[in-house]
A and B are shown apart, each in its own frame.
Chain A
Amino acid sequence: NAGVTQTPKFRILKIGQSMTLQCTQDMNHNYMYWYRQDPGMGLKLIYYSVGAGITDKGEVPNGYNVSRSTTEDFPLRLELAAPSQTSVYFCASSPSVDEQYFGPGTRLTVT
Chain B
Amino acid sequence: LAKTTQPISMDSYEGQEVNITCSHNNIATNDYITWYQQFPSQGPRFIIQGYKTKVTNEVASLFIPADRKSSTLSLPRVSLSDTAVYYCLVGEAGKLIFGQGTELSVKP
Q: Say yes or no: is B16 at the interface (Cβ < 8 Å to chain A).
A: no
Q: How far is the CA of A46 from the CA of B99 in the complex (A)?
A: 14
Q: Say yes or no: is B49 at the interface (Cβ < 8 Å to chain A).
A: yes
- Which residue from A41, A56, A105 sits with its C-beta under 8 Å from B94? A56
Which residues of chain A (77-110) have a CB below 8 Å from chain B? 90, 92, 94, 96-105
Q: Residue on B with the closest CB to A104?
A: B43
Q: Say yes or no: is A15 at the interface (Cβ < 8 Å to chain B).
A: no
- Which residue from A31, A59, A98, A103 sits with its C-beta under 8 Å from B49? A98
Interface centre among B36, B42, B46, B94 (most CB of A within 10 A): B94
Q: Say yes or no: is A43 at the interface (Cβ < 8 Å to chain B).
A: yes
| B interface list, Cβ under 8 A from A | 32, 34, 36, 41-46, 49, 87, 92-94, 96-101
| A interface list, Cβ under 8 A from B | 4, 31, 33, 35, 41-45, 48, 50, 56, 59, 90, 92, 94, 96-105
